[in-house]
Structure 1
């Protein structure tokens, strides 16, 4: 199938993910941005879901902007993205990563997951520092994008960013180059999120307030 969950995950029927135990409230930290009631916050703000049907997908974004930080959940941050591509039954799920800066991406890398992300919640994290960006799955680093501005490679370091997630149909390219199409008889497709946590530098009124004493072993 060719569904696509931008920044978080895309699954055949259910897209399920999570992070560490301590978490905030989705009511407090996020806005539902599109989808005409396909995006929902429930369980007292501890769970959020996105749904996709043949008419529309859905999405949300963080209320705050960040400039560097350590963010944990199924997330899209600093225009660095986790993207889950649809698969054929029994094939490994592909985790697609990218880093955007100065309006351009073209820094894709893909990884085969060692588990089926539709069966349980998993932790997807990004650590964004002036020196590098680290992508982690279940606290295991899978990619390091180093700051190589000294040799002319742009690096995101001055523009504050929000966290975004969306669930939408991309069967024109996401699964085997668009060869596998979405089976709409299985719709609606639903992604679940829980346990958001950010130890990050919050951007407000043109300045950043920061405290990020986490994941020291990866710094």
Structure 2
């Protein structure tokens, strides 16, 4: 009986190590904004604000090399034209990797644009943009990145909207060697964010505020050159997210989202790539 109890305790401890949730004081540092970013409600809520003087931002305390990262966000309400709320993972340096959600503000009544991108070895230009099927300013919604050795899957409220597969065997770079921090920022980008910069930020509406809650990371934490997910463990013993891929339902959901809500796909932009579309757009996985 004692042995069984000890095993249960060890299993429970491993679950805690693999998944951190919910305390912004423990998980993040406010990195800029001179007081415009706030951690509230016993560290269960974080807000970023933007005014004419400055925006604000935060950064995770941990680095991650693969993980399933969830955050609930409520975006700037009302006239948010010119503002960008960015939520992303990134490594450092000119050859950095990056996985982006960016929410481009708009005039009251017009939809936000959800802008996604993937950088590998310092190279991006892999944008896909979507409208959302709800008003993201009315309530919190969950924005997720599943990043494992097989693929990167972007999801909204559990619905996958985009997949970037690991096609390294075809010579296509994939983020797999650089650990990334989680970042978020709220900033003014009225030179490009809304209708290509035609609509400017209305500072009479400031401060603009975005809110965050229920952060959850089931992830491999990178520290001192090693991962909390031991490479010696077999893939079958790792958590399900590490080998997770899109099932038939997930593939159908992506098709639905991309048919009804996608407004830009770099893989169809022949004007941007007159010499030919990027290789990942044309090869079969």
Which has the higher Rg, Structure 1 or Structure 2? 2
Q: Distance in 1 between matches of 2:207 and 2:239?
A: 38
Determine if the alignment matches structure 1 residue 179 to structure 2 residue 198.
yes
- TM-score using structure 2 length: 0.67
- TM-score using structure 1 length: 0.86
SS in 1 for 2:47: strand
Cα deviation for residue 214 of structure 1 reads: 4.2
Out of 199, 203, 224, the residue aligned to residue 205 of structure 1 is 224
- 1:112 aligns with 131
Unaligned stretches of 5+ in structure 2?
1-19, 74-86, 91-97, 230-237, 248-285
Q: Distance in 1 between matches of 2:124 and 2:245?
A: 28
- 1:50 aligns with 48
Q: Distance in 2 between matches of 1:203 and 1:217?
A: 23
Cα deviation for residue 102 of structure 1 reads: 0.6
Determine if the alignment matches structure 1 residue 85 to structure 2 residue 104.
yes
1:140-165 Cα deviation digits (max 9, x unpaired):
00000111222222110000000000
Unaligned stretches of 5+ in structure 1?
1-21
1:7-156 to structure 2, matched below 5 A, reads 23-73=21-71, 74=73, 75-78=87-90, 79-156=98-175
SS in 2 for 1:185: helix
Q: Which has the higher helix share?
A: 2
Cα deviation for residue 217 of structure 1 reads: 6.4
Structure 1 residues 180 and 71, CA gap change in structure 2 (3 angstroms): same
Per mean C-alpha deviation after superposition, the further-off stretch among 108-117 and 81-90 is 81-90
Per mean C-alpha deviation after superposition, the further-off stretch among 82-91 and 206-215 is 206-215
1:157-201 Cα deviation digits (max 9, x unpaired):
000000000000000001000000000000000111000000000
By relative contact order (CA 8 Å, sep 6+), the higher-ranking structure is 1
Cα deviation for residue 77 of structure 1 reads: 2.0
